[in-house]
A and B are shown apart, each in its own frame.
Chain A
Amino acid sequence: MSGEAQLLPGTLDLLILKAVSLGPLHGYGVLLRIGQISASALLIEQGALYPALFRLVRQGLLKATWGTSDNNRRAKFYDLTAAGRKRLRAETEDWNRLATAIASALAARPEEI
């Protein structure tokens, strides 16, 4: 368990958008995909996914349709909307800038000052 990191606030939305951008997914699929692309390094409480999904739908970033899963069960599939795609791009850039900044800040050594 020590290999799992707590999510920073606000990052769950970004992860969901990313996961869905790779292809339409149902809720459980989103969870699996995040686990897969983050090499199971991130801890997400399963139920916590849904409020985030609905929030994104309501913001018009995702669209949902009922369909049938590989397990032959009824499930709701989520896909990115155009707005969602734009948001994902913007947030990815933001994140990268932030991460670079934080990383370079943390990498600073006394002699560089």
Chain B
Amino acid sequence: MSLLTSLRSLTAKFFRSSATADDLDEELRSHIQHRADDLQRSGLSRAEAERRARIEFGAYEKFREESHQALGGNFFDVLTRDIHFALRVLRKSPGFTITAVLTLTLAIGANAVVFGVLNAVILRPLHVPQPSTLWGLEHEDDYGFQSYPNYLDLRDRNRTFQGLAVFSINQETLDTGRNPSIGWAYEISGNYFDVLRIQPCLGRFFHSSDEHGPNSAPYIVLSYPYWHAHFSGDRSVIGRVVQINKHLLTIIGVAPPTFNGTMLFFTPDFFFPLVEQPLIDGWNGLEGRGNRWLFEAFGHLRPGVTPAQASTDLNAIGAYLEKTYPRDVSKKQYSLARPSLYGNFLGRPVRAFVAGLMLLSGLILLAACANLGSLFAARASDRSREVALRLALGSSRNRILRQLMTEAILISLAGGALGLAGSIALLNRLNSWLPFNQYPIHIPVSPDARVYLVALGLALLSGFLFGLVPVRQVLRADPYQIVKAGSSVTPGRRLFTRDVLLVIQIALCAVLVTSSLVAVRGLIRSLNADYGFQPRNALIVDVNLAFAGYTGDNVPPMQKRMLDAVQAVPGVQAVATVSTPPLGMGNGERRNIYKDDSADLRASKSAALPFLYVVSPNYFTAAGTALLAGRSFTAHDDMHTPRLAIVNQEFAQTILNSSNPTDALGRYFRLDDGTRLQVVGVAENGKYLNLAESQQPAFFLPLFQILWSEMSMVVRTNRDPQQAASAVRTALHTLDPGLPVEVNTWNRDLDGVLFPSRVATIALGVLGIMGAILSITGIFGMAAWSVSRRLRELGIRMALGAQRREVLSAALGRALRLLAIGSAAGLLLGILATRVLAFIVYQASARDPLVLAGVVFAMAALGLIATWIPAQRALSLDPLLLLHEE
């Protein structure tokens, strides 16, 4: 409504000012009529008298204009007339207008999208009250990970937080009695919602007062989207009892719609108290000080407490814990980080990447401005005759500049509006995009007012930037000279400005092309990287034994039966279990290990913290991991035989000092509980957490020597993976119909690890293509303009017998030289810029000969495409025709 009112008042303003315009016209006409009356009385005919009167009056438009200015307060009036005129001028050159608007649409659209992401991911905090005092705890390379006993000590002993809550993320099966479905749960401390200071949208939340030890708070809270999707928003769900992994919980509330958990990308389906965890998951996560599985502890600082004070406070507790529990707690410093991106774990690469993207899209905008600036300069010099005439007819330079500026701003606003519309559509698509089937990961980037404002600001700013380019040209224009000499070439400084603009623009585009090629190359490389296993032709089967009620001693026999059942599926070459597949979504299991002669088993004295995989005998065959020395596990390596381990090459080299793998065989090392393990095999190195990691040590333990209920199966098959997947599913279903089974190809399972590379490649690829388009239009504009300005000279050259090559070099040599300079500069800058990319892209380096060759080739191809049409035009000149015209 207020928009309507303000619109109305605006139109009223226009209306009033056009009323004074009518008034003015009537008065001036009245003057001419009176004069004509006098002239008629002196004997002239009426028509002649009116003609004479008009002549005597002088330049009607000029005086009308001056009168308008004298009346004052006619800003809007002048503006509407400027806009009308600008629209007319722009309509007369649709090619120019469309090119300019599209260029800006691309540039501003790209910036709005990137800013939208930046805004949502970095600037916008979580949807909770007072987000500015909310901090998460980070513990060096443990990131947020915390054990429950440690959490309790931190919660109760700190003096700087108003309250400390903790959560963990787990996949659970929720059964309402009809249709069990797998969902993602936040397992949370009782004070979680109170610490966040949020209120339920329905029912109630649980509180720390509900907790009285294990199994004392059998409650569950649903997230708003889950409530809508699975209970169709039914308000009577409160009080209903549901099963989580066969354990009964009562629904007591629904979280507010704006609350999507404490992690930005990871939307939970439901929340239940950590005290219920042992019964739900089939193992006790509340005990074991070294059992760092809780995701992150966080809380609001007390009023007046700085993050530095809080860190000091936490480190004092940390020192106490280390002294009291030397076996389980190692010396590490606490620091505070924002919880939304899981501190620096995701925060650092995400911030670096988004900042890098913002920088590159800023470059796109700059390149677009340079492009449009030189277009405007070219246009202004083509219009120098018009400008000169207007100056000669008494128009002021201010008026002309204002007019040119109006054109520039109109174009920038049109481009900005289109770009914003496009970016909103794209951001909304991105918002509803779920990149993974099996994970509730999405990027919450709905655009808000800040995005609109930034887009508008950028549009206006770029309008001013490229609108300013021709200003000097107009200010220095001498109407007399221009009208006398026609619009012939005046070489010199003006061309120089345009050349610089073009070089800058090409350099910026070369940076973008370089970055996108680096990203593409990185993705290809990471797809072909040596993972230390062969994901091709392999399936990953995720089985939730706890949900189906298998716990404790029931687990091993069931594991054996499952292995046998899958092995019997036709086409299956090998099947094995692994605690968690390497490069999976989780953080990976790590364990402190000690040298054989080490008697001191404190965490701070450990030899290393290698990755641990608990595997069944066939694992190395099924995963396609090569054994460099020794043997694999067998079915006979069980509880009755000495404890064994297989280590990777890195482990053998760094911990067992065996540069030759066979030297490591027979050597011993210890686990943190003192268990002595003998090395029977050495496996090839691999990637365990992500592709960019430096080589990490890892070791493997035989499944039948250690109880381990959490597991996935690796199935190697020679059949079509999809068919094999459904056959495996059927086989396991026959074994136990109640067993939740998820089968994916291993490549699909790697999506999570490849996701950053893919996103980087898509984003940089799009920016690179934009850069390429901009440099094509830029070079094309320059080349076409230079050909058209020199038509006559070229015609004379041809008439005097110049060869095609000479004509071409005269017409386009300059453009191509500028292209070469710009590309070289851009390539150098690109090499520097790729350091930022190294955060995300696997082995990002621009010093790769393929990338260098690619950039040179791409820029040459762009130059060829862009100069093709002007070159054809230069060559098809008919000198006779041309000289006739002049």
Q: Do B67 and A50 touch across chains, with their CB atoms under 8 A apart?
A: yes
B interface, over-half SS: helix
The reply to whether the CB of A89 lies closer than 8 angstroms to some CB of chain B is: no
Bitwise interface map of B from 44 to 73 toward A, beta carbon under 8 Å scored 1, else 0: 000000000000111110110011011110
Q: Do B33 and A73 touch across chains, with their CB atoms under 8 A apart?
A: yes
Contacts of B37 in A (CB 8 A): 71, 73
The reply to whether the CB of A52 lies closer than 8 angstroms to some CB of chain B is: yes
Contacts of A52 in B (CB 8 A): 70
Bitwise interface map of A from 69 to 106 toward B, beta carbon under 8 Å scored 1, else 0: 10101111000000000000000000000000000000
Q: Known: A26-B34, A28-B34, A51-B70. Is A45-B27 also a contact (CB below 8 A)? A: no
The reply to whether the CB of B124 lies closer than 8 angstroms to some CB of chain A is: no
The residue of chain A having its C-beta at the shortest distance from the C-beta of B60 within the complex is: A47
Expressed in whole angstroms, the minimum distance between the Cβ of A43 and any Cβ of chain B is 12
What separation, in Å, do the CA atoms of A54 and B33 have in the docked complex? 20
Q: Do B27 and A47 touch across chains, with their CB atoms under 8 A apart?
A: no
Contacts of B66 in A (CB 8 A): 50-51
The reply to whether the CB of B722 lies closer than 8 angstroms to some CB of chain A is: no
Q: Do B27 and A76 touch across chains, with their CB atoms under 8 A apart?
A: yes
Expressed in whole angstroms, the minimum distance between the Cβ of A48 and any Cβ of chain B is 7
Contacts of A48 in B (CB 8 A): 58, 63
Expressed in whole angstroms, the minimum distance between the Cβ of B764 and any Cβ of chain A is 59
Contacts of A26 in B (CB 8 A): 30-31, 34
What separation, in Å, do the CA atoms of A46 and B63 have in the docked complex? 10
Contacts of B35 in A (CB 8 A): 28, 46
Contacts of A28 in B (CB 8 A): 30-31, 34-35
Q: Known: A74-B26, A75-B27. Is A69-B70 also a contact (CB below 8 A)? A: no
Expressed in whole angstroms, the minimum distance between the Cβ of B447 and any Cβ of chain A is 46
What separation, in Å, do the CA atoms of A27 and B37 have in the docked complex? 14
Bitwise interface map of A from 50 to 68 toward B, beta carbon under 8 Å scored 1, else 0: 1111110110000000000
What separation, in Å, do the CA atoms of A88 and B31 have in the docked complex? 25
Within 8 A of A (CB), among B711-740: none
Q: Do A45 and B70 touch across chains, with their CB atoms under 8 A apart?
A: no
Q: Do A58 and B72 touch across chains, with their CB atoms under 8 A apart?
A: yes
Contacts of A75 in B (CB 8 A): 27, 30, 34
What separation, in Å, do the CA atoms of A27 and B31 have in the docked complex? 7
* A: number of interface residues (CB 8 Å): 22
Of A45, A51, A76, the contact of B69 (CB 8 Å cutoff): A51
What separation, in Å, do the CA atoms of A33 and B57 have in the docked complex? 17
Q: Do B27 and A50 touch across chains, with their CB atoms under 8 A apart?
A: yes
Q: Do A46 and B27 touch across chains, with their CB atoms under 8 A apart?
A: no
Contacts of A73 in B (CB 8 A): 30, 33-34, 37
Bitwise interface map of B from 28 to 40 toward A, beta carbon under 8 Å scored 1, else 0: 1011011101000
Q: Do B30 and A47 touch across chains, with their CB atoms under 8 A apart?
A: no
What separation, in Å, do the CA atoms of A28 and B35 have in the docked complex? 7
Q: Do B70 and A55 touch across chains, with their CB atoms under 8 A apart?
A: yes
Contacts of A71 in B (CB 8 A): 33-34, 37
Contacts of B72 in A (CB 8 A): 58
Q: Do A46 and B58 touch across chains, with their CB atoms under 8 A apart?
A: yes
Expressed in whole angstroms, the minimum distance between the Cβ of B113 and any Cβ of chain A is 49
Q: Do A27 and B27 touch across chains, with their CB atoms under 8 A apart?
A: yes
Expressed in whole angstroms, the minimum distance between the Cβ of A16 and any Cβ of chain B is 12
Expressed in whole angstroms, the minimum distance between the Cβ of A66 and any Cβ of chain B is 9
What separation, in Å, do the CA atoms of A29 and B33 have in the docked complex? 12
Q: Do B30 and A54 touch across chains, with their CB atoms under 8 A apart?
A: no
Q: Do B71 and A74 touch across chains, with their CB atoms under 8 A apart?
A: no
Expressed in whole angstroms, the minimum distance between the Cβ of A101 and any Cβ of chain B is 31
What separation, in Å, do the CA atoms of A51 and B74 have in the docked complex? 14
Bitwise interface map of B from 759 to 791 toward A, beta carbon under 8 Å scored 1, else 0: 000000000000000000000000000000000
What separation, in Å, do the CA atoms of A48 and B62 have in the docked complex? 9
Contacts of A74 in B (CB 8 A): 26, 30
Contacts of B71 in A (CB 8 A): 54, 57-58
Residue of B26, B31, B70 with highest tally of chain A CB at under 10 A: B31
What separation, in Å, do the CA atoms of A28 and B34 have in the docked complex? 7
Contacts of B33 in A (CB 8 A): 71, 73
Bitwise interface map of A from 30 to 46 toward B, beta carbon under 8 Å scored 1, else 0: 00000000000000011
Contacts of A69 in B (CB 8 A): 30, 34
The residue of chain B having its C-beta at the shortest distance from the C-beta of A56 within the complex is: B70
Expressed in whole angstroms, the minimum distance between the Cβ of B242 and any Cβ of chain A is 78
The residue of chain B having its C-beta at the shortest distance from the C-beta of A46 within the complex is: B57
Within 8 A of A (CB), among B11-32: 24, 26-28, 30-31
Contacts of B30 in A (CB 8 A): 26-28, 69, 73-76
Of B26, B34, B57, B70, the contact of A47 (CB 8 Å cutoff): B57
The residue of chain A having its C-beta at the shortest distance from the C-beta of B26 within the complex is: A74
Residue of A47, A52, A71, A75 with highest tally of chain B CB at under 10 A: A47
What separation, in Å, do the CA atoms of A26 and B28 have in the docked complex? 11
What separation, in Å, do the CA atoms of A64 and B327 have in the docked complex? 98
- Given A50-B67, A58-B72, A71-B33, 8 more pairs with CB closer than 8 A: A26-B34, A29-B34, A46-B57, A48-B63, A50-B31, A50-B70, A73-B34, A76-B30
Subset of 9 A-B contacts with CB under 8 Å: A28-B30, A50-B24, A50-B31, A51-B69, A53-B67, A69-B34, A73-B30, A73-B33, A75-B27
Closest 8 CB pairs of A and B: A47-B63, A54-B70, A51-B66, A47-B58, A28-B34, A55-B70, A51-B70, A50-B67
